[in-house]
Amino acid sequence: MLICKTTGTVVSTVKHEQLHGRKLLLVRRSGPDGKASGEPFVAVDTVGAGEGELVIVATGSAARALDSTRSAPVDATIIGIIDSTAVGGKPSFAKSKGMAS
């Protein structure tokens, strides 16, 4: 699983039939503090994430382990929205504040 930040949306009117009705988001890997880095990639949203949120992304075969993505041609699926993180017992991200102090 990866921590990622959603950075945008992807609109595709022509796509595999198992992706119809699925929201596609652009995400970038992130540290636990919510700062995005790396190249963007597309992930199927299964939890109702919005732009700018810190999310948990399953990749590879794990991305297809959900009932909603089983047998679908996906390699990245958003499976959770992060409310907060802590590193070494110190808060590093809080959704309501963006960044912990």
- Tell me the average pLDDT across 33-40: 91
Mean pLDDT of the chain: 89
Q: Which domains does the chain have, with CATH numbers?
A: 2-12+19-94 (2.40.50.220)
Residue 29 and residue 1 in contact, taking contact as beta carbons nearer than 8 Å? no
**pLDDT, position 21:** 85
**pLDDT, position 101:** 39
- Whether 29 shows a pLDDT value over 90: the answer reads yes
- Whether 98 shows a pLDDT value over 60: the answer reads no
pTM for this entry: 0.86
